[in-house]
């Protein structure tokens, strides 16, 4: 396993302490979340089930024999564990590098505790070096892109990619996100935007960061 992978696994391992007996656990998407899924398999008999934030994660969970439930029948979740593309010490995040931001935001919103797992390279002083994913309704693609240009961002269509919800992703370059809460709200107001990859209005509650000196937790 590569060094980067070992760090992701260490963060995922530290998140297991938040999993309690009989829980329905919200499960994220991406390579760090994949480690969490694989580790969760070792304690699958103790949990009631999971709600997945993507089809890809649902498939991986099922392959392990972990029950995957519909959020509508699961109700409020006690815990959601997922990775991030960038995170600040205020626990504001950029997510959606894997294109699963809409379901991730829904599961995060429906969860009492959102534990974000990442290696330390994801910790930044200010969000925005990672191109911000925005999920858009296909017919609004050009309109949303023009609105974002007016705001100073450089939108780029993610080529050959359709989300689990049948929509498109614009990755926005050159944004310096000094006020993530405000920008999340502004982008959300553009007609045709489904979800903005800034997770600031509902930030993580716990950020587990793994580095060469071990694992640390920010709250």
Binding string, 69-98, against ligand 5RP, x = CB under 6 A? -------------xxxx---------xxxx
- Residue 32 touching ligand 5RP (CB under 6 A): yes
The answer to whether 23 and 44 are in contact (CB under 8 A) is no
DSSP label at residue 127:
B
Q: Name the catalytic one among 59, 86, 89, 104.
A: 104
DSSP label at residue 162:
-
Least separation in angstroms between CB 98 and ligand 5RP: 3
Quote the CA–CA distance of 94 and 204 in Å, as a whole number: 11
Query: With CB under 6 A as the contact rule, which of the stretches 15-23, 26-34, 136-144, 153-161 interacts with ligand 5RP?
Result: 26-34
Distances (CA, A) of 66 to 50, 52, 62, 103, 116: 7, 11, 5, 19, 21
- Residue 154 touching ligand 5RP (CB under 6 A): no
Is 83 flagged in the annotation as binding?
Answer: yes
Q: Is 20 a catalytic residue?
A: no
| Helices and strands, counts by H and E, the chain | 7, 13
- Closest to ligand 5RP by CB, 142 or 162: 162
Annotated binding site for substrate: 29-32, 82-85, 95-98, 122
Residues annotated as catalytic (active site), given as ranges: 104
Annotated binding site: 29-32, 82-85, 95-98, 122
């Amino acid at each position: 396993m590569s060094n980067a992978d070992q760090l992701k696994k260490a963060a995922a391992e530290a998140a297991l302490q938040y999993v309690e007996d009989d829980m329905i656990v919200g499960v994220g998407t991406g390579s760090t979340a994949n480690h969490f899924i694989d580790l969760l398999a070792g304690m699958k008999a103790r949990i009631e089930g999971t709600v997945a934030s993507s089809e890809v994660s649902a498939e991986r969970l099922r392959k392990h024999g972990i029950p995957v439930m519909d959020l509508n029948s699961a109700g409020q979740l006690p815990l959601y564990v997922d990775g991030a593309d960038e995170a600040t010490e205020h626990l504001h995040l950029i997510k959606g590098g894997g294109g699963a931001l809409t379901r991730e935001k829904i599961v995060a919103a429906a969860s009492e505790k959102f534990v974000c797992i990442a290696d330390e390279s994801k910790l930044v002083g200010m969000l925005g070096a990672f191109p911000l994913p925005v999920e858009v309704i296909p017919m609004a693609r050009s309109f949303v892109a023009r609105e974002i240009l007016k705001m100073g961002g450089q939108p780029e269509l993610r080529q050959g990619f359709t989300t689990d919800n049948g929509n498109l992703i614009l990755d926005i370059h050159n944004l310096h996100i000094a006020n993530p809460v405000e920008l999340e709200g502004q982008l959300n107001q553009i007609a045709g935007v489904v979800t903005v990859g800034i997770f600031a209005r509902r930030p993580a509650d716990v950020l587990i960061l793994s580095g060469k000196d071990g694992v640390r937790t920010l709250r």
